[in-house]
Structure 1
């Protein structure tokens, strides 16, 4: 956080997170207080899902921003901009889904919470413009970092960029998987069903896969990377759930969250497919001189601090 652009980027995300979560919490509180015991019925569970996902998304974005600024990772900052754009879409979808949940005999309640629902996407969209503005300045600040880490070799620079993209994709894979799983557990699945047990079991398996894949690519462990890439293929089979959202026999279970679940499932599938393809490229780059840069070249002092340290030693 040594420059104005770095502080402004992080503060912008923090301020909009507080405002948006407050709007979402107000919506949740008003509806819960009005509906009372019937709030736990399926049509209204979308509000529980709404607040849980927004808290997860804002906490995730704050972590990603801090991590990107700490590592001076411009690729991850670009990923945050794309993620923030997706938040605009998600917050707009929640307006539609909340209207669907409250449309029956709750017109008064809908009109009361609608301003809070509309403010959320407006704040996210406004903060997105500010983030793009600060990103332009950060690009100038961090543009020299890859040169500092891998040197002047264009080949090493390209390989290191693919490595950064792969690590960034793994982090967003984590969010999408947790987001889809959270929605299914809150809104749809019964605790007594076999699908509930399978979903719970899948959580540690997928998280271990993501962590192991990140460790393998950083340390260039071929056998571990091979297993991780192989396991990504059956994980893509999770895409079959998209059909369940629209089949006549099961669509009623998903009706109030179908739009959000559809977007999350499609994005998760595309992210995982991209991760697999970029992972193959990173695997191909093993043993080509990048290992030292991955393990030792990411943590360093800024040039200004190095110069100051040298001056003090000389003094």
Structure 2
């Protein structure tokens, strides 16, 4: 049974088309909101920075989702497709939260021009803000249908990597989950950092410097952990797991800062979104730590070659392994091995 080529089936093309159409439609709605508000308020005022940051975050989220979808289809990774569905659901929540936060930003202070402080501007932008989560919700339903088709289409792919051994299959699936979680951790961290740096922190504050310093540390953590789990480097994996615990402690610290009386005033217009991103980051880190421990326990059990050289169809070792696994098919020739991590 041959594996379909990248974007070679109707389900793959429909999946990508749904994401692309949804991306364009949502970004148009957000851009209209940005333009309407820009004509009447000064974005240099701290309370109005919510709007451009909202646009930037949505642009980042949509680009991230497109790249993640292309990566999942290219690698035939069913687990990553499921992760995209969860990410899409989180986008619905994020879009809904922005309705509340934009209203809070626009209805308290007087506006200039022909828009007064009685909520006229808010009533003009409200329909566009409501349409965004509706579009994402409809596209989410369509994506669930296409992911179901892709599940059956890609179900054969993992057999090409690890054969019919149930234990190897389970270990490889945990490895896939780990890599997928690391990718989503990157987005959540980028979202929290962007909001903190643009909306909340003054460039002269100590917390601004801490946030800037955390960026390369977290990026190192994610990259190092991915390399460690793929190549089964125990000392690097140990360091990565310890750093994850530190990152979780940082998330708890930030949540306390959002609500304690001495600092809560800084986060009034962005507290809901920041809380959403920070809680999501904490839960992702916790899940990544737990799955990381499981992957660590699976080191040195014969999976490393499949993780590192899963696409090495021309290598001698890969050919020999394919020949050994062909016994599960009654001696028929295996198709070229592929990587789906």
TM-score (norm 2): 0.86
| Alignment-derived partner of residue 32 in structure 1 | 38
| Alignment-derived partner of residue 8 in structure 1 | 14
| Alignment-derived partner of residue 60 in structure 1 | 64
Give structure 2 stretches of 5+ with no counterpart: 1-6, 111-116, 315-332, 337-341
| Alignment-derived partner of residue 284 in structure 1 | 297
- The structural deviation recorded for 1:180 is 0.5
Q: How does 1:141-180 map to 2 (within 5 A)?
A: 141-180=153-192
Moved segments of 4+, more than 2 Å? 298-301, 306-309
* Residue from 9, 18, 21 that aligns with 2:27: 21
| Alignment-derived partner of residue 55 in structure 2 | 51
Give structure 1 stretches of 5+ with no counterpart: 310-315
The size of the alignment, in residue pairs, is 303
| Alignment-derived partner of residue 263 in structure 1 | 276
Taking the aligned partners of 1:110 and 1:63, their CA distance within structure 2 comes to 34
- The structural deviation recorded for 1:39 is 2.1
Judging changes above 3 Å, is the alpha-carbon distance between structure 1 residues 299 and 108 closer, same or farther for their aligned structure 2 residues?
farther
| Contact 2:161-2:306 within 8 A present in 1 as well | yes
- The structural deviation recorded for 1:299 is 6.5
Structure that is richer in helix per residue = 1
Q: SS where residue 245 of structure 1 aligns?
A: helix
| Alignment-derived partner of residue 144 in structure 2 | 132
| Contact 1:31-1:109 within 8 A present in 2 as well | yes
Judging changes above 3 Å, is the alpha-carbon distance between structure 1 residues 34 and 167 closer, same or farther for their aligned structure 2 residues?
same
Taking the aligned partners of 1:287 and 1:151, their CA distance within structure 2 comes to 18
User: What CA RMSD, in Å, does the superposition of the two structures yield over aligned residues?
Assistant: 1.7
| Contact 1:219-1:291 within 8 A present in 2 as well | yes
Taking the aligned partners of 1:40 and 1:92, their CA distance within structure 2 comes to 24
| Contact 1:5-1:134 within 8 A present in 2 as well | yes
TM-score (norm 1): 0.93
1:241 matched to 2:245? The reply is no
Taking the aligned partners of 2:238 and 2:46, their CA distance within structure 1 comes to 42
Taking the aligned partners of 2:240 and 2:267, their CA distance within structure 1 comes to 31
Taking the aligned partners of 1:75 and 1:90, their CA distance within structure 2 comes to 23
- 1:56-105 CA distance string (max 9 Å, x none): 10010001000000000000000000000000000000001101111123
- 1:234-287 CA distance string (max 9 Å, x none): 111122111111122222211111111111111100100110110011011011
Judging changes above 3 Å, is the alpha-carbon distance between structure 1 residues 258 and 108 closer, same or farther for their aligned structure 2 residues?
same
| Contact 1:20-1:124 within 8 A present in 2 as well | yes
Taking the aligned partners of 2:159 and 2:15, their CA distance within structure 1 comes to 23
| Alignment-derived partner of residue 131 in structure 2 | 119
1:208 matched to 2:212? The reply is no
| Alignment-derived partner of residue 98 in structure 1 | 102
